[in-house]
Amino acid sequence: MGRPYSDDLRVRVVAAMEGGGNCRAVGEAFGIAPSTAGNWHRLYRRTQSYSARPMGGDRRSKLLEHGDHVTALLAEKSDLRLVDVQADLASWGVKVGYGTVQRTVKRLGLRLKKNDLRD
C-alpha cells in the first residue's frame, strides 16, 4: 500500500490552485495527476485542511456496537468458530463477512477454537 503525499506538497499545490492555476497546469508543475490537484483543492475549500485522511484498518465496522454481544456469546460457548459467530449475528439481523468477525474478535482480545475452518 502506498503512502499519502506530504502535507508540504499539498500546501504548495493548494496555494498554486488558489493563485489561479488550473488543475492540469498545477498537476504538471508538481508532478501529480491533475485530478489529484483538483481533489486536494476541493478538500481544502470544503474542510480548510490539507491533511490526508487515515488509511487502512476497519474504522467503520458494523460490529463496533455489537462487541458486547460477541463477547457474551464467546464467554457462553468458548468452542464456537467464527462462522458460528457470523451465523448468530445474522440471526440478529447483522450481516457481516467472515473477515469482519475475525477482526472484531481480535480487536476485542478474545480467543477462538483453534481449528477454525470455514464450512
pLDDT digits (tens, 9 = 90+) for 39-82: 999 999 999 998 888 887 666 777 888 888 888 888 888 788 88
pLDDT of residue 35: 95
- On whether the CB atoms of residues 53 and 70 are closer than 8 A, the answer is no
pLDDT of residue 59: 67
CA-wise closest residue to 27 among 48, 45, 5: 5
CB atoms within 10 A of CB 99: 10
Q: What is the mean pLDDT of residues 3-22?
A: 94
Q: What is the pLDDT of residues 72-104, one digit of tens each?
A: 888 888 788 889 999 999 998 888 899 888 888
Tell whether the torsion through CA atoms of 30, 32, 34 and 37 is positive or negative: negative
pLDDT-derived band at 3 (thresholds 50, 70, 90) equals confident
- On whether the CB atoms of residues 102 and 70 are closer than 8 A, the answer is no
pLDDT of residue 33: 96
